[in-house]
Chain A
């Protein structure tokens, strides 16, 4: 293997590595531009910020920083170019269909961005006197009302910072409720198909995690669940629609059984976008459910965050909700926090984060919700489900769909690697899609299906976009079935070929060491 190339791709690497024959002096290929690290192009005296005054002398004695920090600077023009070049090495929903199952990559409306930047939202401090931030409280309250109504639940905790933080909120509510009942139940039941965050959250909060078996139809096995329920079971964490893209038909019966055994029902709401406006989790016996505002309500994913994970709660769990939260009194809004919780909310489990949660995501989500309205949100769910089923049925006989025989899917279509040629895998199909100009679907998740491929087109794709994607996926599937060796080394046209993840883990280089 060639040594690490700190300067990017140099022409001589073709001699050593034999990558391909399209050599250029710069390593660039027209619009595909290589970009060095800021540490390679910046300088310690270069800056892109001007100040109106010289640095005054400081008198910090022994605490004054003496040694260089080692931070490179760039001028503004270089900075804009650096990050613009980097951005062009990313795939994004703005560029095309992004069928990442369970992640809900839908269009991010730009009105949401504009609204979030209004000074009354963006330039407000979380600890300002309450009379000066009534508009911010109003947004939190209005969004909370929508979430409560759309889910048919009793109340909502707004402060969790992301989905997994919302799970933690729900699980802590369950812990607090059990404590109030004087019961020490230590087991949380989680299906094997669940997101990894579910068992991780339960364990993080001190619970023991046990599996719930699934039926052959990809759903919770109600009888097996009932058999496991007992005085040691605190509750269940169930994703609905589940990660196989299927609605848990027996959800109400599951909830009833869990409640009868003295437990609580946590619903992972990652897939709420499939049912928003058509089904209320409150009608299914759910006690707590987080809503990923970055999924259902289209706040941008930003390359991995920020998220926002409000948790809707049943009447049974609402008294234990975290601080702070906003209440309305007449036309005014008031914050309930540590000092006044004693009278208004004495059983709270406490605070989960500094300040009030992800305000910047609240403004975007509320803007999105108001744009769609009740009728539009229902249409969102219907089009998301329609698009997924269209993909599922259009690939009949092309890719194995383990649960297709049991009926329609919800918002995502699940396929397996069954039937591919010897030596060909789900990974090859994913990498082949990259060359076709798509981000791959979610792969190898859920764990219950071999070589899983989870396709979530979302409602913001046109029929023409879906038809082209289906055609591309069919073409790649046929190549994988016929054993096309070129597919094994895909992608060929991306900024990078397959990356050596083993090397990265074996010899971790996690920071610039130059």
Chain B
């Protein structure tokens, strides 16, 4: 077998060194009734690289890849062009096949990269510090709610109706078992969120208000007043960013007063990957750093005075604090954080701003074109690269009819909110730099046909 270097002669010599007659002698602690003697029945034996690649290739061809035609899906996962050098660099074995940098003398590559990643994320989100990544945006969002509970010693979280429904579901799942109280609801098909009402509902039991920016319908609103209301009531403002490219063009949540900013970093460097692995971003004000979940990389010096980096403030973490840790997280999204960081380095500030502006411009053009389709209107008065169309009929069947025409035309609100018939005519459309003018025209023409 190509991954196993021992020969039968090696095995025999090693058993002799150990003093065992057969390999079974090494499994002597396994009770006889639990031991399997032959290979498990019904499973195939080993296969060549050629055969496995053929099998997996056939499965891959059973899906329609986004790049095969017009593609307009977003709602928490965005298709951006990833420069070729990103994938090349993350496949260097020294990054790909390294472990968590617990031995810093021989892990400075990963550690310096994490320090740079943390610095980039903190600046992009407008906060003081960021950690070395979480699993994804949805789990980072729940961890932020838990962190707010620890800081405020209150357990009621207000979730804005614009929060991604999957993120809300994750929070609901956890809150059922932790005693946290969530106040949440579905969005309404209006151009703006009623943030004044949200601010009014903050009370002395409120630990945090969670706001997505841009929100699930693509809307962007200034959260400065909400941040002030939170601060006045002793609650924290948690901002959730699922499309970080937006922050090349619009103000960061930190600038508007958010205490904790979490996000999904998938847009930069990572690719769609059918939903994972992605990279959770987690950032906050310095004063809360000791309540953060996850790994943190910090600067220090070595015994010779040279600058170096280590994992630090580990007394928050499970491997030291066990049941008193701030979170149970161990493995994070190191390699995706690397991809994010490389893509961000390639873009730089100028590139990110231009990428964001192109996304916004392309989305505006698409919104204008699609609004010309009879019966279709655009809900949003403000958006970055994603907006919500109001169709004259339920959007979900329309999506399937568009797919038959090889157009992946967005995410229906029926898919996201299946229990809310009031939202079924909504269609969330994302338009990134990967969308061409021809794609937009094809989408508009197909939509017109399907709705006719």
Contacts and interface: CB of A to CB of B under 8 A. Distances in A.
Interface string B119-134: 1101110001110110
Interface residues of A, number: 214
Contact of B57 (A72, A118, A168, A358): A118
A357 interface: yes
A115 interface: yes
B153 interface: no
B346 to A, nearest CB: 4
Contacts of B306: 5, 8-9, 13, 19, 496-497
A21 to B, nearest CB: 12
B331 A135 contact: no
Contacts of A374: 39-40, 43-45
Interface string B77-95: 1010001010111111111
A358 B279 CA distance: 11
Contacts of B358: 51, 53, 55-56
A367 interface: yes
A510 B289 contact: yes
Contacts of B40: 149-150, 277, 280, 374
> Which 5 interchain pairs have the tightest Cβ spacing?
A73-B348, A355-B275, A302-B335, A135-B62, A120-B60
A447 to B, nearest CB: 9
Nearest to B361: A56
Contacts of A44: 348-350
A64 B250 contact: yes
A55 B75 CA distance: 24
A351 interface: yes
Contacts of B30: 247, 249, 275, 278-279
B65 A123 contact: yes
A462 B14 CA distance: 11
B158 interface: no
Interface string B6-32: 100011011101111001011111110
A385 B323 CA distance: 31
B255 A67 contact: yes
A379 interface: yes
B99 A103 contact: yes
Interface string A360-394: 11010011001111111011101101110110111
Contacts of B156: none
Nearest to A194: B322
B374 to A, nearest CB: 24
A24 interface: no
A223 interface: no
Given A162-B330, A279-B34, A509-B299, 15 more contacts: A39-B116, A49-B347, A72-B348, A73-B347, A93-B93, A107-B3, A133-B274, A172-B173, A203-B325, A206-B178, A306-B334, A349-B173, A360-B274, A373-B43, A387-B14
A121 B274 CA distance: 7
B47 interface: yes
Interface in A255-290: 275, 277-280, 283-284
A305 B136 contact: no
